[in-house]
């Protein structure tokens, strides 16, 4: 019946780990009695079977003169999805049309072989300043001009925001973040990290705040940020404490500093903790914590529409049967609107979506750029595979797609320095210009799959 269900919903589920449905705490299926029986074979039995085997071999027909080479086993072909997506054709201008490309184990190298590194853009000055000699400052994370550059004098905030269980939606504060990352955590769920810089002074309710993960270290280093999170697995928490940047990991505590508080929702406390970013600056002053100005090298931004032959109106991101979404391009507003699943596919065959709203601002969650990154999802050690303690590696470089202005642009992400954000370039190393505004990053694994059907693209996350 379960296999019939898989054929009905026609969705490729991620291999290879399968939890014991009778006991989710277990990892891979196995047969203890069989393993135990094998271990108890005595020496006399082994000798007897060895003699029998030799006799059979002696009487068998001689082997053929040449043995044909074994047929290579390719990766499983995914079932067709609910919409008629098909793999991109060979004639596609997309250089990553065949996406399932193995990637070597990641090792950090400070400078990729080919990359264009921008100048310091933490507070760039427009040489064509207005009359009166007033300089124009830009936000390095959005490329937008800044009315009040006071926020450039403090560190950005990276705040963990839950996306499961479903009743935590709509979340608060997502529409105020300058940059947002979504990545897979475990058992089909994803989580957001919002980077708050220009709007921190008005983000009075952000959350619900959830636990930290190994991946968060990359964002703390890249954005020189404080990480706001609600505890972590002991293995990950111990790792955080061992880092040289440990003072910038701020977990939930008691009191008004750090400014965590219980939200206005009727739900259990575990999913009802929020962060008041507007009170954070006063808190750092009170505690004497480092909130000094930081030098951030931002990306490249331009309002000019780039040249691309590939028009994409919808970008589907399927992480699991219980967590899937898509971005729809709105030509009038020149941005993308987030649609989130409202019904899982555990007992259903049809994907159901609705617009994702921000419960604090009462506005839909939108992005001016959507970037799909392909990164290795690894385990720090094999003991962490059974409970899916992933460690996504946003180091060195990798493939990506940039979506802006309703267009798809094949890209490479390059992390040129461990303490700076990565840069997006064309495959030849020339820079890609994002539309000024908010960028939303979707972290897919390097083994994930891509399907296209007309102006709709679909990415399906596959665990290693």
CA distance 11 to 14: 10
The pLDDT of residue 97: 63
Q: Which two tokens stand for residue 221?
A: 């280093």
Which has more confidence, 80 or 325? Answer: 325
* Domain ranges for the chain: 149-287
Report residue 255's pLDDT band, with 50, 70 and 90 as the boundaries.
confident
pLDDT tens digits for range 391-401: 888 999 999 99
The pLDDT of residue 299: 86
Which has more confidence, 78 or 318? Answer: 318
Contact, 226 vs 158, CB < 8 A? yes
Residue 166 has pLDDT above 80, yes or no: yes
Residue 177 has pLDDT above 80, yes or no: yes
Choose the weakest-confidence range: 97-101, 253-257, 407-411: 97-101
What homologous superfamily is domain 149-287 in, according to CATH? YerB-like (3.50.90.10)
Report CA-CA distances (Å) from 14 to 76, 77, 391, 452, 462: 10, 12, 17, 19, 5
pTM beyond 0.85, yes or no = no
Residue 237 has pLDDT above 90, yes or no: yes
Mean pLDDT of the chain: 79
């Amino acid at each position: 019946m379960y296999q019939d269900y898989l054929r009905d919903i026609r969705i490729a589920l991620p291999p290879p780990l399968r939890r014991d449905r009778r006991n989710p705490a277990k990892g891979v299926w196995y047969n203890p009695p069989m393993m135990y029986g094998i271990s108890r074979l005595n020496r006399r039995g082994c000798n007897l079977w060895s003699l029998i085997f030799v006799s059979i071999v002696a009487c068998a027909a001689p082997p053929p003169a040449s043995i044909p080479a074994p047929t290579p086993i390719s990766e499983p072909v995914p079932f067709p999805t609910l919409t008629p997506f098909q793999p991109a054709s060979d004639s596609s201008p997309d250089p990553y049309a065949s996406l399932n490309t193995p990637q070597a184990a990641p090792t950090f190298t400070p400078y990729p072989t080919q990359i264009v590194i921008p100048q310091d853009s933490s507070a760039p000055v427009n040489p064509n300043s207005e009359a009166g000699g007033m300089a124009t400052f830009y936000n390095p994370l959005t490329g937008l001009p800044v009315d009040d550059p006071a926020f450039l004098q403090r560190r950005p905030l990276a705040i963990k925001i839950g996306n499961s269980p479903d009743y935590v939606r709509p979340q608060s504060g997502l529409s105020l973040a300058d940059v947002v990352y979504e990545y897979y955590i475990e058992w089909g769920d994803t989580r957001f990290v919002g980077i708050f810089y220009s709007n921190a002074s008005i983000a009075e309710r952000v959350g619900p705040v959830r636990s930290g993960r190994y991946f968060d270290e990359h964002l703390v280093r890249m954005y020189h940020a404080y990480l706001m999170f609600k505890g972590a697995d002991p293995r990950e928490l111990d790792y955080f404490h061992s880092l040289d940047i440990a003072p910038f990991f701020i977990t939930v505590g008691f009191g008004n500093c750090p400014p965590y508080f219980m939200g206005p929702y009727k739900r259990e406390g575990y999913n009802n903790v929020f962060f008041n970013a507007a009170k954070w600056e006063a808190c750092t002053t009170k505690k004497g914590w480092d909130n000094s100005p930081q030098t951030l090298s931002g990306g490249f931004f331009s309002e000019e529409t780039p040249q691309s032959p590939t028009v994409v109106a919808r970008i589907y991101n399927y992480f699991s049967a219980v967590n899937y979404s898509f971005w729809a391009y709105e030509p009038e507003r020149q941005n993308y609107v987030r649609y989130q699943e409202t019904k899982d596919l555990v007992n259903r065959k049809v994907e159901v979506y609705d617009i994702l709203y921000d419960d604090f601002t009462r506005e839909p969650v939108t992005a001016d750029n959507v970037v799909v990154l392909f990164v290795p999802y690894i385990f720090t050690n094999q003991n962490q595979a059974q409970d899916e303690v992933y460690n996504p590696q946003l180091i060195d470089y990798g493939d990506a797609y940039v979506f802006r202005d309703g267009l798809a642009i094949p890209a490479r992400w390059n992390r040129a320095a461990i303490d700076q954000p990565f840069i997006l370039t064309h495959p030849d190393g020339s820079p890609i210009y994002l539309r000024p505004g908010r960028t939303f990053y979707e972290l897919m694994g390097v083994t994930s799959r891509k399907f296209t059907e007309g102006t709709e693209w679909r990415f399906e996350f596959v665990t290693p």
